[in-house]
Amino acid sequence: MPVQDGNALAGPLSEVFAVEVTSAWRLCPGCGTDSTVGALRVYTMGTAAVARCPHCGEIAFRLARHAETLWLDFGGGGALRIPVTG
Ligand SMILES: [Zn+2]
């Protein structure tokens, strides 16, 4: 299987992150509940937020904004550090 660097994902990821993310579905690995991102329970503190399953409370992801960087942490799946403006 050929190996490419992450730039090979520029096209597919631009489609994923260009949509309204709150309508995206998530399957909770903790309890099996299907829910949209918009249905998650979100706890915020300053510029950070934790999104949790509305049924069992398992963490779906963490989001933190610091200066011009946005961290999106999926726990065991690692984290994305995304440059942002403003
Ligand atoms: Zn759950």
Mind listing the pLDDT tens digit for each residue in 16-29? 778 888 888 999 99
Residues with CB under 5 A from ligand 1 (ion): 28, 30-31, 33, 53, 55-56, 58
| CA 22 – CA 31 distance, rounded (Å) | 20
Task: Please tell me the predicted confidence (pLDDT) of residue 45.
Answer: 92
Give residue 85 CA to ligand 1 midpoint distance, Å: 33
Mind listing the pLDDT tens digit for each residue in 32-82? 999 999 999 999 999 899 999 999 999 999 999 888 898 999 988 888 888
Could you tell me the sign of the dihedral formed by the alpha carbons of 5, 66, 38, 53, in that order? positive
Q: Which of 44, 47, 46, 41 is nearest to 28 (CA)?
A: 41
Q: What is the pTM of this model?
A: 0.80
72 with 84: CB under 8 angstroms? no
Q: Which of 25, 78, 31, 79 is nearest to 58 (CA)?
A: 31
Tokens coding 71: 């961290």
